[in-house]
Amino acid sequence: MSRPRVFVTQPIAESALARLRAVADVEINEDSSQVLPKEKLIEAVKRADILLSLLHDTVDREVLTANPALKAVSSMNITADRIDVAAATELGIPVTNIPAIVTEATADICFGLLLAVARNIALGDKLFRRGIYPGSQSNHLAGYAVSGKTLGLVGFGRIGQAVARRGRGFGMNVVYCDPRRLPAEEEATFDARYMSFEDVLREADFVSLHPQLSPETRHLMSDAQFALMKPSAFVINTARGPVIEEAALVRALKAKRIAGAGLDVYEFEPQVSPDLVAMPNVVLTPHLGSAVLELREGMAHVVVDNTIALIEGKPPVSCLNPQALRKLF
């Protein structure tokens, strides 16, 4: 029997690839600087038995049906945001995923964005590289305080709680909203106060978004919500891009209804509004939430664990549609 063919949409940790090469013929898109265009993804899928995809890859019905012999999708995704799992299930294609192991790394980038936009760190770096040095006590780059301010968390799951711990380290007052209020003893461990969503927006100096993406949370932040925030407040998004209606964010920033934004995710990722790119009070990072070398290596090994399990006919670590699992080879 010939070895299974696996296509990997971008390079992953070499230690994980070495394990995969031991059991399969592996083809890799070597360009890690950009998302593989859909037409190239489809061409590659036609040559593969298993697609090993990353979070940014859109695996829709067109991709899944490009090769009738495609047997599985092994995804480095926790949720199914960009994968048509219903279509995969209909086609009998199992889709594996990874456990939620990115909590601390995502909380780190969240707080990094918060500090960068409040204290003009990214803007200061840009100006200094252009030879601009306003002076150590100039108000030219004076920003906003973080310590002692109110951190409002929209969503208080794993990542929201990790951000709360970082906020408490900066002496911030933590308020939160979530569909499920924590028991009083758990709230006390974070010294956090529960509020309605609207009251969090009104009170917070920094609104940090952490809901899961769903039809209910798409455009959770739009014109009406930005209007509730303080003119001196910032919004930080490390959850999913469509949680914010990007056009409404642009309107709020242009009208100075809020002070700024720190974004790691975007509504039409990888595209971002040119208006946001041009704004000095907006810090943008290209979805770096889990971009920690040790973590990414661990994530790659979990994906390879899943892929090898599929090849060997064993249960994968995690699967989004276990009803599609069967002997593939």
Note the pLDDT tens digit of each residue in 227-273.
999 999 999 999 999 999 999 999 999 999 999 999 999 999 989 99
Establish whether the linkage from the previous residue to 270 is cis, with ω within 30° of 0.
yes
pLDDT at residue 131 above 80? yes
Domain boundaries, the chain: 5-101+292-324, 103-284
For the residues 295-313, what does the mean pLDDT come to?
A: 96
* Mean pLDDT, the chain, integer: 96
**Among the four given CATH numbers 2.60.40.3670, 3.40.50.150, 3.40.50.720, 3.30.300.30, the one describing domain 5-101+292-324:** 3.40.50.720
pLDDT for position 263: 98
pLDDT tens for each residue of 206-232: 999 999 999 999 999 999 999 999 999
Question: What torsion, rounded to 10 degrees, do the Cα atoms 236, 237, 243, 248 define?
Answer: 50
Residues 6+ apart with CB under 8 A from 262: 113, 114, 116, 117, 234, 235, 236, 237, 282, 283
**Among the four given CATH numbers 3.40.50.720, 3.20.20.100, 1.20.1510.10, 3.20.20.140, the one describing domain 103-284:** 3.40.50.720
CA distance 214 to 218: 6
Give the pair of three-digit tokens for residue 169: 């380290």
Q: pLDDT tier at 329 (50, 70, 90 boundaries)?
A: confident
For the residues 316-328, what does the mean pLDDT come to?
A: 94
Q: What is the pTM of this model?
A: 0.89
Q: Which residues are 74's β-sheet partners? A: 52, 96
CA distance 291 to 76: 13
pLDDT at residue 1 above 70? no
Which residue in 323, 310, 327 sits closest to 88, CA to CA?
Answer: 323
pLDDT tens for each residue of 50-91: 999 999 999 999 999 999 999 999 999 998 889 999 999 999
pLDDT for position 27: 98
For the residues 114-142, what does the mean pLDDT come to?
A: 95
pLDDT at residue 198 above 70? yes
Which residue in 147, 203, 148, 144 sits closest to 175, CA to CA?
Answer: 203
Catalytic positions = 240, 269, 287
